[in-house]
Amino acid sequence: MFDRVLIANRGEIAVRVIQACRELGVDAVAIYSDTDENAKHVRLADEAYHVGASVARKSYLNQEAIIDVAREAGVDAIHPGYGFLAESTEFAANVAANDFIWVGPPSDVMNDFGEKTRARKIMRRADVPIVPGTTDPVESADEIREFAAEHGYPVAIKADGGGGGRGLKVVRSDNEVEEQFQNAQREGEAYFDNSNVYVERFLENPRHIEVQVLADHHGNVRHLTERDCSTQRRQQKLIEETPSPVLDEDTRAEVWDAARRGVAEAGYINAGTVEFLYEDGSFYFLEVNARIQVEHTITEVVTGIDLVKWQLRIAADEELSFAQSDVEPRGAAIEFRINAEEPSEEFAPMPGKLETYRPPHGIGTRIDDGVDEGDSIAPFYDSMFAKFVVHGENRDEAIRRGLRALHEADIRGVPTTIPFHVQVLTDETFVEAEHTTKYVDEELTIE
């Protein structure tokens, strides 16, 4: 195992990695921007180093400064968390080139999954279902019209390096193709430095299902069951749960096995998530997130397996110590992302000081956060500052426990997404598990 690990991140995920390091007897080295000098992750770390100004591009995205700190601190490995540089193939390669261990998949595998057409080809080789579409970039609007003539509208034009809804354009007629083709190319270039786009059939009302995987350097690949992340707004997840309430046992087993086949085919190493769209009894590969995810918590509470510690162990070349048959999920879990936002105002971020911060406690409740009372939510970064996770014997108990926890929370100084979560948990569509990825945007009137 490593002696020292640098955490190239901030907030609750940095705190989470620090906790894993502590349990493994590893020194945790934090970095911080001007704004974060007294942040919780800095207070908890064994050492902390300044890397730049408050804006992310001058600090948490400053690769040179982070590598310099890693040298100065004498660390063995760098854990990127999620967001910022976590899926940067350039940074992963830079870490390895400077003789540090990257806590994540190899940069070439990250590159394979970063380009969606290449990822689709890998999954096709592994006999994983993909949404009907192209596996090479399209060169013209006419190619898109030809695809639509064969498969019908609507179709989705997607940026090859895209994600989170960026570079995604839905086309419903021939007349829209040219404009949306150009829009998708522009967004791909602007956000991902890649103007290539591909086209696929657009699923109107899918569920979002994802499978957590762990893979080591010794050829072992394990799935840790699935999560349902269908409660989204503009392709951004808000509430996640496990198990999915809509999969039957045969389909569930097929999804698990497809995820394992896909990452094995790619030579994937470390933790990752294979995402699928599910509609009308069929599932289709969407993408691979080559990192730990925000919602890893619910997988941990139902399986009892510490994913972050396993990230570090795998990076240190340890072999997975459990068989697939040892993964026995228990009960149901739900995660609520607690953001400093005003849901009734289009979820507008509302940074400020946490004058009161008293999260819920009690049986079946887990809190992952990056703040304490009196801390401030900075305007420079994502507005999520905590995650409330509840675990029950079944989905009904998890929902009831979630309501109890949300009502118990006392947070003042900034508006939060807690009222939204309460509304969802008391809405019949969610309670009956009839929601899709369109639920929040098109069906729910936010109070």
| Alpha-carbon span 129 to 105, nearest angstrom | 23
Q: How many CB atoms neighbour CB 20 within 10 A?
A: 21
| Alpha-carbon span 89 to 110, nearest angstrom | 6
| Alpha-carbon span 43 to 51, nearest angstrom | 16
Q: 139: Cβ–Cβ under 8 A, 6 or more apart, which residues?
A: none
Mean local confidence (pLDDT), 161-166? 71
Q: How far is CA 120 from the centre of its chain?
A: 19
Mean local confidence (pLDDT), 200-213? 94
| Alpha-carbon span 213 to 256, nearest angstrom | 9
Mean local confidence (pLDDT), 184-195? 86
Percentage, residues of the chain above pLDDT 70: 99
pLDDT at 6: 98
Bridging pattern class, strands 77-79 and 101-102? parallel
Mean local confidence (pLDDT), 392-401? 98
Domains of the chain, earliest start first = 4-103 (3.40.50.20), 132-201 (3.30.1490.20), 207-443 (3.30.470.20)
Q: Is the pLDDT of residue 385 over 90?
A: yes
| Alpha-carbon span 69 to 64, nearest angstrom | 9
Cα 145 to Cα 135, 179, 184, 207, distances in angstroms: 16, 13, 15, 27
pLDDT at 270: 98
- Confidence tier at 188 by pLDDT (50, 70, 90): confident
| Alpha-carbon span 240 to 245, nearest angstrom | 11
Mean local confidence (pLDDT), 384-410? 98
Least confident of 90-99, 114-123, 220-229: 114-123
Residue ranges with strand state E in 202-265: 207-215, 221-233, 236-242
Give which of 167, 269, 288 is closest to 217, Cα–Cα. Answer: 269
Q: Look up tokens 């079944």; give the residue.
A: 394
Mean local confidence (pLDDT), 431-446? 94
Question: What one-character DSSP code corresponds to residue 130?
Answer: B
In this predicted model, what pLDDT tens digit does every residue of 274-322 receive, in sequence order? 999 999 899 999 999 999 999 999 999 999 999 999 999 999 999 999 9
In this predicted model, what pLDDT tens digit does every residue of 212-241 receive, in sequence order? 999 999 999 999 999 999 999 988 999 999
Q: Is the pLDDT of residue 162 over 80?
A: no
- Residue 49 pairs in a beta bridge with 31
In this predicted model, what pLDDT tens digit does every residue of 335-362 receive, in sequence order? 999 999 999 999 999 999 999 999 999 9
Taking a C-beta distance cutoff of 8 angstroms, is the pair 298, 240 a contact?
yes
Taking a C-beta distance cutoff of 8 angstroms, is the pair 373, 351 a contact?
no
In this predicted model, what pLDDT tens digit does every residue of 39-70 receive, in sequence order? 999 999 999 999 999 999 999 999 999 999 99
Taking a C-beta distance cutoff of 8 angstroms, is the pair 174, 145 a contact?
yes
Please state, rounded to an integer, the average pLDDT across all residues of the chain: 95
What is the dihedral angle through the alpha carbons of 344, 347, 350, 351, rounded to the nearest 10 degrees? 150
Q: Is the pLDDT of residue 164 over 70?
A: no
Q: How many CB atoms neighbour CB 442 within 10 A?
A: 9
Cα 83 to Cα 10, 25, 369, distances in angstroms: 10, 26, 16
| Alpha-carbon span 371 to 368, nearest angstrom | 9
Cis peptide before 154 (omega within 30 of 0): yes
Give which of 424, 123, 137, 421 is closest to 275, Cα–Cα. Answer: 123
- Confidence tier at 115 by pLDDT (50, 70, 90): confident
* Amino acid found at 274: V
Q: Is the pLDDT of residue 4 over 90?
A: yes
